[in-house]
Structure 1
Amino acid sequence: MKNWKFPLIIAAVVIAVVMLCIFSFQGVQNKAISLEEQISTAQSEIKVQEKRRADLIPNLVDCVQAYDEHEYQTLMDVINARGSSSDESVQEIQTMIQAVAEAYPELKSSENYRELMNELATTENLIANYRSNFNKWVKSYNQYVRKFPNRQILGMLGYEVISYEYLDYNVSSDAPTNLFD
C-alpha cells in the first residue's frame, strides 16, 4: 500500500515542474510580445503627430498669411482714403472698415502669429513627448529581452529578438522654424 504513494508523488511533482516551466516560458514570451506592441503603438503615435504637423501647420500658415493680406489691404485702403479729398470715397472706406470691424473686432495679425507659434510649440512638444515614450518602451524591451533567463527562454522558443534604436531629439529638417526671423 505504501509503495503506490511514492511514484504518484514523484509523478505529481514532475507534472507540476513541467507545467511551471511551460507557464514560465509562455509568460516570458507574452511579456516580450506586449513590449513589442507598446513599441509599435509608440511608433504609430509619433507618425500620427507628424501627420498632424504636416496637415495642420501649412493650413495655419496660409490662414495667417491670408489674414495678413486682408489686414494690409484694409490698412492701405484707409491710408488711400485719407489722402483722397472725395467725401464719397471716405464714406465708402468708413463703411468697409465698419463691416470689417464687425466681422473682425481687432485688426491685429500679431494675435494670429501668437496662436500660430503656440500651435507650433504644442505640436513639437507632442512629437517630443511621443518620441520620449517610444524611447522608454524601447529601453524596457531591451532590458527585458537581455535579462537572464529571458534571453535563454526566448531563444529556446524560437523567438527572434528585434533590435530597436532610440530616436534622437535633433530637430528634423522639415520642422517649422521661427516665422519672425
Structure 2
Amino acid sequence: MRKWLVPGIIVFFIVILYFWAKGINNTAVEMDQASQEAWGNVQTSYQRRNDLIGNLVNTVKGAADFEKSTLEAVVKARSEATKTTIDPSNITPEQLAEFNKAQSGVSSALSRLLVTVEQYPDLKANQNFLKLQDELASTENQILTARTRFNESVKGYNSHIKKFPNSVFAGMFGFKEKAFFNAVEGAEKPVEVKF
C-alpha cells in the first residue's frame, strides 16, 4: 500500500494542477472573446455613424447654396475613418490611437457641418435633416456606451491575466494584455463653437 502512496499523491497534484491551469486558460479565453465582442460592438456603432453621415450629407446637398468645402471635409473624414481597421484579438495602444484619431476627424468634421447648418433656416426645418440629426446624436451615445463596455471588458481580461499566478499560465498560453480605448489628445479642452 505504501508503494502506491507517493505516486498517488503525485498524480493527485498533477490532476489538481491540470484543472487549475485549465480554469485559468478557459476564463482567459471567455474574457478574450467578451472583449472581442465588445470591440465588434464599437465598430458596429461607428459603422452606423458612417452610414448616417452619407444620408446626412445627401440631405444637406439639397440646400443649393450650402458650403461645399464643409461637405467635402465630412466625406473625406468619413473615408479616412473607414480605412482604419484593427484586429480585435491583438489590439495595441498604437492601433487604438490611430483608430481614435481617424474617428475624431469624423467627429470634428461633423461638428463643423452642424454648426454651419445653423446658417440655413430651410435646412434646419427639413424633417429628414432633423430626423438624421436626432439619429446621429443617438448614435454618438451608442458609441460612448460601446467604448465604455469595451474598456470594462478589457479591464476584466487584463486583470485576470496579470494576477499571479494567472500571469504565469497566461504567458504560457499566449495571452497578451489589451489596450484601453482612450480619449483623443486635446479632448479635455472645451470645444469652441463659432456662428
TM range (shorter): 0.5 to 0.7
Gaps of 5+ in 1: 70-107
State which of 32, 38, 44 in structure 1 corresponds to 2:34. 38
Percentage of pairs with the same residue: 28
Whole-angstrom CA distance in 2 between matches of 1:49 and 1:57: 12
1:125 is displaced (CA, Å) by 0.6
- How far apart are residue 11 of structure 1 and its match? 3.2
Check conservation: 2:161, 2:177, Cα contact below 8 A.
no
Letter in structure 2 aligned against 1:109:
A
Measure the CA separation in 2 of the matches of 1:19 and 1:170.
Answer: 48
Distance of 1:171 and 1:63 partners within structure 2 = 31
Partners of 2:138 and 2:165 lie apart in 1 by: 43
Aligned to 1:54: 50
1:1-181 to 2 correspondence within 5 Å?
Answer: 5-63=1-59, 66=62, 109=125, 111-155=127-171, 158-170=172-184
Equivalenced residue count is 133
User: How far does residue 113 in structure 1 lie from its aligned partner after superposition?
Assistant: 4.2
The answer to whether the 8 Å contact 2:45/2:142 transfers is: yes
How many angstroms apart in 1 are the aligned matches of 2:3 and 2:129?
Answer: 83
Provide the alpha-carbon RMSD of the alignment.
3.2
Rg larger in 1 or in 2? 1
* Unmatched tracts of structure 2, length 5 or more: 66-123
Check conservation: 2:55, 2:132, Cα contact below 8 A: no
Q: Per the alignment, do residues 171 and 65 of structure 1 end up closer, same or farther by CA in structure 2, a change over 3 Å counting?
A: farther
Please report the TM-score for the alignment, with normalisation by the length of structure 2: 0.56
8 Å contact from structure 2 (residues 31, 157) kept in 1:
yes
Q: Is the 8 A contact 1:32 1:141 kept in 2?
A: yes
